[in-house]
Every structure is written in structure tokens, then in C-alpha cells.
Amino acid sequence: MNPFQKRRAFLASQLAPGDVAVIPTAPERSRNRDANYPYRFDSYFYYLTGFEEPNSVLLLNDQAESILFCPPKDLEKEIWDGYRLGPEQAAETLGLTKAYSFDQLDSMAPAFLSNHETIWFPFASNPEMKGRLEGWIDAISQKVRTGVRAPHSIKNACLILDEMRLIKDAHETDIMKKACDISALAHIKAMQYCARALRLNEDLKEYHLEAELLHEFRRHGSEYPAYTSIVAAGANACVLHYRADKAAIRSGDLVLIDAGCELNGYASDITRTFPANGRFSGPQREIYDCVLSAQEAAIAATRTGAKFSDPHDASVRVLCEGLLALGILNPKTHGTLEDVIAHKKYTPFYMHRTSHWLGMDVHDCGSYVEPTHTQEGAASTPWSDLDPLKAPSANATQSRILKPGMVLTLEPGLYIRPSPDVPEQYWNIGVRIEDDALVCPQGVELLSRGVPVAVADIEHLMA
């Protein structure tokens, strides 16, 4: 069995007798006039099929019989839009029970769904297809007098698939390691280009470094970036969702790059912060070393059996120690380390979480709360105690327990905006260091250390 067949077999094993899963791929999306956005399949669909063509739907029953509807062979259309596998080939190539033309979907799907109780559909995928599914169920309901039974509920297949995707199999971690290797090379390329261009007094803008990243991604076979690259020079590093824009990069600036390629459907996600001219200034290095120590604490806290929130808590403690030691937080006004942590006095300088899941999607699926705490056992807040304007905070005791095969980012940062309360030498310094961590039976494997993080290594690389 190939990995996709194994996943289909596992999904089938999770269905009750008489259940069917309907998993569509993503629709094509128009960008403007006759130009579409580059096509990207739906992650759930690809996870179960390995099939990249649009206009396709997988049907799977509890016996692991799998039916694919896919674009029919059409030599005229293939001249314009490229090769199609076609239903005649698809069943054998993809290890399916049977495949039909997508043109037959509306006429044939009701027959496959008749006499089944529950349909599982990934609510987070293709809303247009959900409407069609409801149409098929209506069509079956109108025939109940002929003796067929209509499905009586649609359940969210993401509940099962998110749990499956949260634990990466060997096929997935192999690809993720390759994606990280490519992204690491791209970061190195951008760092070296940056220092060289400044030495040669060349015009240097943020987008020049983005061009280096994209070139390196593509050169190694990545289909596209996993997300829009951030290349932020100087004060722009303090804008969390900055893109690569046209600001000039100057000697003396720090440059923050948050960029990762996608390879065969899997994301990588790396952030490095480096001095544009290849040498950290004293204050830059103080902030950098603080963030690096926070990341080391996060790495040490990431292991099988730990909570998802442990790396964050470990990072926050080290960052707060640093903020107090550097005089960015003042013990006289902000209190002790424990006060600073308890009252979140660090949030003007560290306002995001340390981790997110990583996989096919850069912010990958998977609950951050232990499943046992989300089911009937978990007490819901009485409405009388509820403040609907406040986001519910995940109680630390409910945090997900890390298991082998989970992949998460470890990405502490500090972002120091100008303020009369903050020593001026730190103004406009923004630092984030982000690596991708695979949880192992023993500790953690960092997938993205092809690009170094230590100050001496970065300076050496850029010299």
C-alpha cells in the first residue's frame, strides 16, 4: 500500500458501518479576467489521494472502497491546460477501487450515497461542493418512496482528518525535511547576497532579498512559497505581518526574513534575523542573544509528553529575564520576574505565541487542546459567567500533549518600538528566530538548522 492508500484505510476504519466520506479538492480561483491564481489542491484531498488535478472528488466508504471523480481525458483541453491522468488510468495509478469522469459526478453521486446513514465532509474545504452534496441528499430524499434511504446527517470529516494529519508519517517527515533543507539554503543565499550587495555599494531593497529566496526555492524544485515571504529591514521588523516591500536595506540595519518553501504539498517555515552588513552591533546582539536563549529554552521544553504550551512558557520566562536585565522592563515599575510573567508585562515586546503546528498548511490543522478536554467531559462556561467579547483562553491544563510525529514551530521574538520608557539603543530592533521541530520519542529534531542561528556562525556566513 502506498501512503495515500494507508491513510484512506485508516480513515475508513474510523467510520461507523454505513458511513461515507466525501472529500473534494479545492476549486480553481480567478485572479482577474482569464488569469487564475496558481492552482493549489486541497490539503485534505491530497493527503488521501496524492492527486493534484482540480475538479476532483473522493468518495470513501467504511470498507475502504474508494471512488474518484476526476477530469476526463480531453486532448483538445489538454493542449491548452496540460496533461490529465483521466479516470481510465486513475484507478490503477492511485490504487483506487474505481474512477469516473467529473462530468458524471451529479448523476452518479446520489447512487453511491443512497442507503448510507452519515456523510463525512471536511467543512473547512470546498463550500461550493458542500452545496452540491446537500443537493444530492435532497435528490435521494425525494426517492424514499421507491425504498431507498436518504443520509440523515452530514458530519465534519475534519474532526477525524485533523487528528490524522497532526501526527506525520515517515512519508511526510521525509518531504518536510527536504522542504526545510531548501528553505535553509534560500535563507543562506539571501544573507550572503545582502552583505555582498552592501559591500559593493549596490542598490539594495527588501524585494531583492525576496527574489533570492524565490530563486533558490524554485531552483530546488519547490512549487511555490508556503506563504508570502516577510523581508523586513530595520524598524519594519517590528511589524509582524510585514511583507517584502521596497524599503532600502542599510548597513547597520537588522533584517528579519520569515520565509519557507512548499514542496510536494508540505510547508517549511523559517525565520532568521541578521545584521545587513554581516556584523551585529552591541545592542542588536543583546536582543538577539536574549531571543536565542529563549528559543533554546523552548527547544529544551519540546519533547514527547510535554504540553504544547510548555515551549511558549519556557520562552516567555527567558524573554522576561532578558527584558528586565536590559532595562527594557523596570523592576521598580513592573515588579519581579514572576510579576512580569503573571501580569503579562512583556506583551508590548512579545505579542505572539511561540508555536503553531506545521504540515501541509503552514498553520497546520490539529487541535491545540487535548481531545479529551473538548468532548463531553469538558465543562462549558455557564452563559452567566461568559464574556462574549473575550476570546476563550485555552487553560494550560488542557493544552495538547506532544507526541512523536507532531511538527511545530519554535519562534520566540522581541519587537522593541520607540518609547520614552525604553533605552534608546534598543529602539526599532525586531528579532525573531524560528525553527521547525519534529517531536521524537526522545526529545526533538530540528528540521531547519541547515541555516545557522548562532551569532558567530551568521557573521562567518556573511563575511
Integer Cα distance of 379 and 397 in angstroms: 13
8 Å CB contact between 206 and 381:
no
Interface residue with Ca ion, options 42, 53, 258, 361 (CB under 5 A): 258
Beta carbon nearer to Ca ion, 23 or 438 = 438
Q: Is 338 a catalytic residue?
A: no
Q: How many residues sit close enough to Ca ion to count as binding (CB under 5 A)?
A: 2
> What are the distances in angstroms from CA 458 to CA 30, 437, 462?
42, 20, 6
State the catalytic residue, choosing from 220, 352, 353, 417: 352
Q: Is 356 a catalytic residue?
A: yes
Integer Cα distance of 301 and 312 in angstroms: 9
Provide the minimum distance between the beta carbon of 271 and Ca ion in the complex, in angstroms, as a whole number.
5
Q: Is 215 a catalytic residue?
A: no
DSSP state of 396: G
Integer Cα distance of 213 and 192 in angstroms: 11
State the catalytic residue, choosing from 152, 196, 219, 363: 363
Give the interface segment with Ca ion, choosing from 67-75, 84-92, 240-248, 263-271 (CB under 5 A).
Answer: 263-271
Beta carbon nearer to Ca ion, 61 or 229 = 229
Task: Read off the C-alpha cell for 380.
Answer: 462549558
Give the interface segment with Ca ion, choosing from 20-28, 145-153, 192-200, 266-274 (CB under 5 A).
Answer: 266-274
State the catalytic residue, choosing from 212, 262, 411, 435: 411
Integer Cα distance of 366 and 184 in angstroms: 26
Q: Is 258 a catalytic residue?
A: yes
Integer Cα distance of 322 and 306 in angstroms: 24
State the catalytic residue, choosing from 53, 62, 269, 361: 269
Q: Tell whether residue 364 is a contact of Ca ion (CB under 5 A).
A: no
User: 3-state DSSP call for residue 35?
Assistant: strand
Interface residue with Ca ion, options 19, 62, 216, 269 (CB under 5 A): 269
* DSSP secondary structure of 134-169: HHHHHHHHTTGGGT-----EEEETHHHHHHHHHS--
Q: Is 241 a catalytic residue?
A: yes
Give the interface segment with Ca ion, choosing from 79-87, 174-182, 261-269, 346-354 (CB under 5 A).
Answer: 261-269
Site string for Ca ion, 27-66 (x = CB under 5 A): ----------------------------------------
- Nearest one of 206, 237, 273, 194 to 428, comparing CA atoms: 237
Provide the minimum distance between the beta carbon of 355 and Ca ion in the complex, in angstroms, as a whole number.
11
Strands 98-101 and 66-70: parallel
State the catalytic residue, choosing from 42, 210, 262, 434: 434
DSSP state of 379: P
Catalytic residues: 34, 241, 258, 269, 352, 356, 363, 411, 415, 432, 434
Contacts with Ca ion by CB under 5 A lie at: 258, 269
